[in-house]
Amino acid sequence: MLSKLPLVCVVDDDAAVRNALKFALEVEGLDVRVFDGAASLLNDPAALPCDCLVVDYRMPGMDGLELIGVLRSRGFDATVILITGRANKELRARAEKLGVHCLLEKPLPDDALLDSIRAALPRAG
């Protein structure tokens, strides 16, 4: 029986970050799709659903929290991990209100993102 790999979508405007995350997560056995911003994700009908969404906060146009808000208003209920260069109380509160699973600060500690994704994914059974 074929088992579907968990799908992680990564949205980040920095190509180097996108590619590094894609590589690191694929090495760990995850299916990864990358997007260079909110518009590219929203305009791709095949992008969602995914098992976990990793979103950068600071992006041109629509920021990560705005993107999460749009997705939530459309019924998207998968796990979301927000990454940012600087987190403050206001950002954390806004993320929590949108149901963000966790907020990670860059530079990402060793396995923090992978550990957060694994914790968020439904257990195969």
Domains observed in the chain: 7-118 (3.40.50.2300)
- Is residue 122 scored above 80 in pLDDT? no
Other beta carbons within 10 Å of 100:
21
Confidence band (pLDDT; 50, 70, 90) for 111?
confident
Confidence band (pLDDT; 50, 70, 90) for 48?
confident
DSSP labels, 30-63: -EEEEESSHHHHHT-TTS---SEEEEES--SSS-
Residue 107, pLDDT score? 87
Other beta carbons within 10 Å of 43:
10
Q: Which residue has the tokens 């923090």?
A: 112
Where residue 75 falls (left for φ over 0; alpha for ψ -120 to 50; beta otherwise) is left
- Quick one: average pLDDT of 52-74? 96
- Quick one: average pLDDT of 39-52? 89
CA of 114: how far to CAs of 67, 91, 94, in Å? 22, 22, 23
Is-contact 79 51, C-beta < 8 A? yes
What is the tens place of the pLDDT at every residue in 66-97?
999 999 999 999 999 999 999 899 999 999 99
- Is residue 22 scored above 90 in pLDDT? yes
- Quick one: average pLDDT of 37-54? 90
